[in-house]
Structure 1
C-alpha cells in the first residue's frame, strides 16, 4: 500500500456518486485513470485492506424505528458457541465479545433493529430461548447523535 492507495481510500470512504462511471470521477479527482482506480481497489481487496463495498440504507425511511443493544451474561465456556449463534441470527447486525467488570458481568453484546420496541423484545426473547441464556438486558436507543463508518 502506498500514498496513492491512501488517497484513494480517503476519497472512497465518502461513497460512490450515482454516476454511470463513478470510478472515473474518483480517478479524475486523484489524477489517475479509471482503470488504475479499479486495479488499486481490487488489489487492496485481495490483500484484505478492503473487506467489502456496501450500501448504507436509510433504515428510518424503511420503517426501522427501534434499535436495541442486548447485553448477555454468557458463561465463559459457552462464549464462542453463543457468540457464533447470535452472529448468525438474521436480525443481529453487530455481535461482540467484551470483557466483564466486577459490577458488570455482561460479556456478549448484540445489536438488533426492528419496526418497534416490542419486536426487539421478541427477538431478544427468541435468542434467549434458542441459546438457553436467560440473563440479559435490552437497552434501547433514545436519540442518535452521530452515525458514521470508520474513517482513515
Structure 2
C-alpha cells in the first residue's frame, strides 16, 4: 500500500476511491489504514507538488535573505503570507555565511524583482539575492518504498 500511495493521485472529487478499488478495499478502509500509518509515524504527510508551468506560472525564483536572528520568525511569517510565496525556510547561513531565510516565489506575469521589492519593503530586509531558475533538470516526487 505504501508504494501505491506515494505515487501521483488523480485530481478528482474522491481521490482515494480508485486507489481503494485497486487494493480491493473500501475507500473508508483505505483512509483508516493511511491514518493508522500516519499515527505510527510511517507516513509524515501528504502533499501536492505543483508543476508551476502547467499551473500557468511562467517565472519562478529562489530568493535568499540575510535576516537578523531576532527578526527571523516574524519575517518568515510575513513572507509566508504572500500568495506568490510557495516555500519559506530558515536555514543555517552557509550560503555566503549570511543568507539564512530562503523563499521560493512564482509569478504568472509579474516581474520577479518587483515581487521581491514588495517583500523587502514589507519586512525592511534589504540584503537578498534573486536566484532565477534557468533550466529545470529534475522535479519528481520522492519515493521511499
State whether TM-score is above 0.5: yes
Larger radius of gyration between Structure 1 and Structure 2: 1
Q: How does 1:1-152 map to 2 (within 5 A)?
A: 8-17=1-10, 23-44=16-37, 49=43, 51-52=45-46, 54=48, 56-101=49-94, 103-116=96-109, 119-152=111-144
Q: CA deviation at 1:58?
A: 4.2
TM-score (norm 1): 0.76
TM-score (norm 2): 0.79
Q: CA RMSD in A?
A: 2.8
CA distance in 2, matches of 1:140, 1:30: 43
84-93 vs 36-45, greater mean Cα deviation: 36-45
Q: CA deviation at 1:62?
A: 4.0
Which of the two has greater strand per residue? 2
CA distance in 2, matches of 1:38, 1:114: 35
CA distance in 1, matches of 2:64, 2:101: 6
Runs of 5+ unmatched residues, structure 2: none
Which of the two has greater helix per residue? 1
71-80 vs 41-50, greater mean Cα deviation: 41-50
Is 1:68–1:111's contact at 8 Å kept on the other side of the alignment?
A: yes
The 1:102/1:67 distance shift into structure 2, 3 A limit, reads: closer
Runs of 5+ unmatched residues, structure 1: 1-7
Q: Which has the higher contact order (CA 8 A, sep 6+)?
A: 2
